[in-house]
Chain A
Amino acid sequence: MFPNAYQGRVGFLGGTVAQIKVNEAERELAVTVASKECPAEDVRFAAYLYMDRADPLIEPTTGGLRVRLRYRAPVAAGRLREEGKAFVEELRQQRFQGELLARNGSLHEYVVRQALSGAGQAEPAEEGAEPELSAEEEKELDRLIAEVEELVEKEAKGKPKQAEDPLGIRATWEEAHGEK
């Protein structure tokens, strides 16, 4: 696929690496990353953002995904390597955002819901430095966060289950088509 091409490896997360392959003649760049290090959704977000300069194609590989970016306009010699490294950085960024969403989704949803329901009215900010929380207050705060997360989870369970998907509409491109 990449004759006479540059190949490199860039440290990603947790000591693993993302593979970068560059084919300057074809103006094509391929970055492979393990799914355990960067979930498919985060890979899709990163690839989508590169649509301003390249046509992306995401392909499954053993244990991961390969993003092929074919640049529409000519790219200066050596520039694609830098683009590859920048794309790995974008993957890191998206992975971080994905993790934040996964960890905080229920809290975020709770606050927005409070705002939309009119329960959260703006209050004047408290002034001056406050003392540290006591052990009891720490526990109370943890209990409140857990309570909110439990509440959101319970509500989600109470919702009607999604209909079956006989036509496979909810399947991703990779799941539906696999290797090209």
Chain B
Amino acid sequence: MGRSRAPDRTCTAAPLYSRKLGGRHLITNDWGHYAFLSQEELDRLRAGRLGPAESRFPELVDKGFIRERMDFKGLAGDFRTLNRFLWQGPTLHIFVTTLRCNHACLYCQSSAGRVVGHETDMSLETAKAAVDMVFAGPNRNIAIEFQGGEPLLNWPVVRFVVQYARKRNEAEKRSLFLSVVTNLSLMDEGKLEFLLDNEVSICTSLDGPAPLHDRNRVFHGGSSQETAVRWIKEIERRRLSEPPPRRRIFKTSALMTTTRFSLPAWREIVDTYLDAGFGGIFLRPLSPIGYAKKVWGTIGYGAEEYLDFYRRALDYILEINLRGRPFIERMAAVLAWKVLKRRDPNFVDCRSPCGASIGQVAYNFDGDIYTCDEGRMVAQQGDPIFRIGNVLRDSYDEIMASPATKGCCMASVLDSQPACSRCVYKPYCGLCPVYNYEAQGSLMGQLPRNMHCRVLKGVFDILFEKLDDRAAAEVIEGWLDSSRREVVK
């Protein structure tokens, strides 16, 4: 379509969602489009009095907001693009190679501090079966991520999985991405060379400046933060000095976890990432899942406290960008990717239905498979509700048809949630049944009282405010010029 009707035609609103934001009205639709309208424009759209002669009309037509001018085929294509993960199967495969860890982080579930004993190490037989399960899925893009505990404590299995997966992929010819999430304290020259030679991306934890990081991430072998930063800089040195084609070294990435102690340190946290040479930061809120639930009173906070932290940090990051240094806030970038590109950035935590089983799968050391790593954490506290099978006993079809997979899918389809089905952010948002279960006692949860929902709604409010500001919007749009993986990781 794309052609206008006669000016006297009555044009009414197509399916849309709306929310008052900063004196204007944000409208969105399930095809991924958005627009800001004045009160008067919204009133006239609602009353069917916004006509083709008006300046906003062509834009609203193009975006599918005018019922009489809906381009069915084009809008169906938009919906399909935005939700393409529905056809793909799991991408992210998390291997918990051991529960042992040499850190005792405040928020971690891994009964940390224990490095002796091997009863929670993944065996080679289990690891092989897990890799076979990965390749049993249909997705042409596969990411295997080693987690723990501290995965380097079970180095033989990490090494085996890397080699076996690469070998299998010679025949499969899929896009295979390998990464290890490590605190770097056990890194050495031999391990690093193996990881770099095999193009394994390295991701570490960096919670901020040393006093904060070391308070969150208790380590008895010195400063955890200084150790991590030393290795980050060493890997970066090699990346810059050994460009392809010799080998492709990925830029190290880092995960930051926000505890109560992080909230006043937003500026220092961002500065730490800048000083370490990172191109961005993911201001990740903490969730009361698994072990963190037990200590929530000490390290947790409310949605409003987090949003205040997030807004201050984001404003500072935008200021840094406006001064000429590109630096991404990844949560804003991921959501902006959906809003501005209307494409799925493959971010399994924020989609409908959520990524549980159908976007990501977690393989525990004993071969048990979970909907996600958060589901595995719940099991570690004694409740295996999110277990979907075992690599040694079940097939791919069986884990996809398990009650936990179905339950998570059903609970996380936003159309089935009363608070979400009419929400303006529904086209871009997602919920977490594991969070709901841990915080509110059911997979469905009760969204109006749900911190996960309030945080996401608040972050979307902030993001759309920024997108309505020309200077900030240009910075955020610039972030999307990076590759998807660069934005998401």
Complex alpha-carbon distance, A108 and B68, angstroms: 13
Give the complex CA separation of A5 and B481 in angstroms.
58
Closest Cβ–Cβ distance, residue A172 to chain B (whole Å): 13
Docked complex: B1-60 residues within 8 A CB-CB of A: 1-6, 9, 12-18, 30-31, 46, 52, 58
Do A121 and B15 touch (CB < 8 A)? no
The answer to whether A130 touches B2, judged by C-beta atoms less than 8 angstroms apart, is yes
Looking at the complex, which one of A44, A97, A112 makes contact with B79 (CB distance below 8 Å)? A112
Q: Which of B78, B83, B448 has the most CB of A within 10 A?
A: B448
Contact of A51 among B14, B446, B454 (CB under 8 A): B446
Given A104-B14, A111-B70, A120-B76 in contact, is the A51-B448 Cβ separation under 8 Å? yes
Report how far A157 CA is from B232 CA in the complex, Å: 63
Contact B31 A111 (CB under 8 A): yes
Cβ B75 vs Cβ A111 within 8 A: yes
Tell me the complex Cα distance, A63–B252, Å.
65
Asked if A118 is an interface residue, CB under 8 A from chain B, the answer is yes
Q: In the complex, what residues of A have CB within 8 A of residue B81's CB?
A: 122
What 1/0 flags go to A103-136 for Cβ under 8 Å of B? 1110110111011101111110110011111000
Q: How many residues of B contact A (CB 8 A)?
A: 43
User: Which of these binds chain B: A25-33, A77-85, A137-145?
Assistant: A137-145
Q: A110-B72, A130-B4 are in contact. Are A120 and B80 (CB under 8 A)?
A: yes
In the complex, what residues of B have CB within 8 A of residue A57's CB?
none
Cβ of B70 and Cβ of A132 under 8 Å apart? no
B74 touches A48 (CB 8 A): no
Whether the Cβ atoms of A114 and B76 lie closer than 8 Å is: yes
Within 8 Å by CB of B76, from A48, A101, A111, lies A111
Residue contact A100 to B77, C-beta cutoff 8 Å: no
A interface, CB within 8 angstroms of B: 44-45, 48-52, 93-94, 96-97, 100-101, 103-105, 107-108, 110-112, 114-116, 118-123, 125-126, 129-133, 137-138, 141-142, 145, 148
- State the 10 A-B residue pairs at the shortest beta-carbon distance, nearest first: A120-B76, A122-B77, A114-B76, A130-B3, A115-B79, A115-B76, A52-B448, A115-B80, A104-B15, A51-B448
B positions within 8 Å CB-CB of A: 1-6, 9, 12-18, 30-31, 46, 52, 58, 62, 67-70, 72-81, 83, 86, 418-419, 422, 446, 448-449, 454
